[in-house]
Structure 1
Amino acid sequence: MSRIGKKTINLPQNTDIEVTENNVNITGPRGKLSYQLPEVIRIKHDIKNQTLNLYKTHENKEAQKLYGLSRTLINNMVLGVSKGFEKKLRIQGVGYRSQLQGKNLILNVGYSHPVTIEPPKDIVIEVENNVNITIKGIKKETVGEVAAQIRRIRPPEPYKGKGIRYLNEKINIKVGKAGK
């Protein structure tokens, strides 16, 4: 049984929340996000302590699943509008590089043509030293999806390790052919 739903969500001072029936709107310095709560989940806002608590209206398996999920999604929304999320990627390989053209990311990673990636409207992509890519945004899911989409263009290969990888990702390098 999950115990995640029981944890309280602490609201930072620069974050405002508005709860109307099943809708939760969270506003912070980085933007505004909203979430529709499932019918079996209710939310209680403690204004004095600046905390949120979720509770179930029914005791069944479906309510238990949605309990922890809803708490995690709302907590990610609070973190997103206050601090934001970021993922870092690193390009490794001879001649592999990246650059920004306006908001679009241009990747030269060994194909006969450069690959252009147009980010969603709430995502910011930064490039440092032509090999370090940082993806920033307020939605954790979108940041992770854009990072996975970029990595999917040229995943690291197991013999030399060339490709696009997450910053702290460990690639197990295989031994090549043994010569006779």
Structure 2
Amino acid sequence: MSRIGKQPVKVPSDVKVAINNKAIEIKGLKGTLNLTVHPSIDVEYALGSQQIIVKRSSDEKRFKALHGLTRALLANMMIGIMRGFSKDIEIVGLGYNAKIQGNTLVLSLGFSHPVHMEIPKDIKVEVKNPTNPAKLTISGTDKQLVGQFSAMIKAKKPSEPYKGMGVKYAGEVIRRKAGKAMSSGG
């Protein structure tokens, strides 16, 4: 058995779970999430015990991996529906800033043009401090979508190791490098 996959997923009382063949729909306080599971994985929901149990059809290595993955995805869906997920981002640099215009995040990252990023419909972006260091909070119910959008923002201008300028996650430590040293003589 997979150590992760064999653990049941607890379902809070105010969450509704619907399993239709291999499609799972979970409704809660913050919205609805859907997941389609692999054909070799079975998902059972016992209404009386308020838990979801994930089972696999074979003990092959790839099915063991899918077993744990499916259980982890379902657990993340429960957390997302109840509390949601968020990532904090800092944009450090002179003249770097962030603002929201309608459904678009506009970043000034030292390029000759502003960077426009359309915000996905299930994601909420909040600008806490628009200027240096600019602070953003990306939040939503889908952990994968929150992480992916945060990574896309960071990829626009990753922090560089000499001055530390760029986009980084809050709390991320950028290892600094020494610049070129002046040599004497010659």
TM range (shorter): over 0.9
Hey, what does 1:114 align to over in structure 2? 114
**TM-score in terms of structure 1 length:** 0.94
1:136 aligns with 2:133: no
The corresponding residue for 2:82 is 82
1:112-144 deviation digits (Å, cap 9, x = unpaired): 111111111111111011111111111111111
Q: For residues 52 and 62 of structure 1, what CA distance do their matches in structure 2 show? A: 21
**Cα shift at 1:159:** 0.3
Separation in 2 of the partners of 1:69 and 1:101? 37
1:167 is matched with 170
TM-score (norm 2): 0.91
Runs of at least 5 residues in structure 1 that lack an aligned partner in the other structure: none
Contact 1:14–1:82, Cα closer than 8 Å, also in 2: no
SS in 2 for 1:136: strand
Contact persistence 1:100–1:106 (CA under 8 A) = yes
Q: Which blocks of at least 5 consecutive residues in structure 2 are unaligned?
A: none
CA distance in 1, matches of 2:109, 2:62: 45
Correspondence 1:18 to 2:18: yes
CA distance in 2, matches of 1:107, 1:46: 47
Query: What pairs up with 1:1-180 in 2 under 5 angstroms?
Result: 2-130=2-130, 131-180=134-183
Paired residue type of 1:171? I
C-alpha distance in 1 between matches for 2:107 and 2:22: 43
Structure 1 runs, 4 residues or longer, greater than 6 Å off: none
* Percent of matched pairs sharing the same residue: 38
- Distance in 1 between the 2:37 and 2:157 partners? 38
Secondary structure at the residue paired with 1:120? Answer: coil
Paired residue secondary structure (2:35): strand
Q: Distance in 2 between matches of 1:105 and 1:37?
A: 33
Return the offset for 1:62: 2.4
Distance 1:55 1:2 in 2: 10
**TM-align CA RMSD:** 1.3
3-state SS of paired residue (1:94): coil
Q: CA deviation at 1:14?
A: 2.0
